[in-house]
Homo-oligomer: A and B are copies of this chain.
Amino acid sequence: MSKERPTNSPTGDRETISELTTGRLSVYLRCLTFLESVGQSTVSSAELAERFHLNSAQIRKDLACFGEFGTRGVGYNVTRLRDHLVRELGLDRTRRVLIAGAGNLGMALADYAGFNDHGFEITGLVDNDPDKIGRRSRSGIEVLPWDELPSIIREHQVDIGIVAVNAEAAQTVYDAFADAGLNAVLNFAPTQLRSRSGVKVKSVDLRINLESLSFHLKNVEDGG
């Protein structure tokens, strides 16, 4: 390991921490959780970079933003850094999640392992189709009536709403989430939502994954 210093001006200004940075923090957290699980106590940015195919300068820069500089010649303490990232990402408390739309996608998300695990809890689904109300996903998440959204959000103390309806209904769902006081919305509908100040929306673009594989296939085709 060479040095654990930032390579670029760290700011500490949380406004400047982008979506991409947050995504990288999640990746670092997964790497550190793995290292902790195999009993490793310290790690350098160079080793993190090499083992997990990351960029060591980027790691140092990202972690320096959070006041984590490591120790020269030793690196980062794995458990300490992991705990720090858990707190930075706000995963040291449970976020309660409600899914709007009990179609194929909503049902699949209700049972998705990573959504009902350390830090997150799916509290229910909501739908406006009377035939779906009262049904349960395979893992037992119940479909509740859309009409009762405000009281459901209040009673279940929901933090995050997921939009799993079609593009036409997505804005109505977002607005209803915002009206009911939610500050964070995850959108799976293929549409751009008009967001309100303070009610953050993150849209999932699954197509990017296919594009990455297309890039790989192109290189196979080009390079043999």
Contacts and interface: CB of A to CB of B under 8 A. Distances in A.
A113 interface: yes
A221 B26 contact: no
Interface stretch (A74-82, A142-150, A200-208): A200-208
Contacts of A26: 205, 207-208, 211-212
A89 B90 CA distance: 35
A25 interface: yes
A210 B160 contact: yes
Interface in A142-194: 159-160, 167, 183-186, 190
A186 B215 contact: no
Q: Report the copy number of this chain in the oligomer.
A: 2
Chain B CB count within 10 A is highest, among A53, A107, A207, A215, for A215
Given A190-B113, A218-B89, A22 B97 contact: no
Contact of A89 (B55, B89, B214): B214
B111 A215 contact: no
Interface stretch (A40-48, A114-122, A127-135): A114-122
A72 interface: no
B213 A184 contact: yes
A185 to B, nearest CB: 8
A105 interface: yes
B115 A216 contact: no
A22 B215 CA distance: 8
Given A183-B217, A184-B214, A204-B209, 4 more contacts: A14-B219, A14-B223, A104-B108, A113-B167
20 contacts: A14-B219, A17-B215, A19-B212, A20-B24, A25-B215, A26-B207, A26-B211, A90-B218, A103-B108, A104-B108, A112-B206, A113-B167, A114-B205, A114-B206, A115-B206, A115-B207, A160-B214, A160-B217, A200-B213, A200-B216
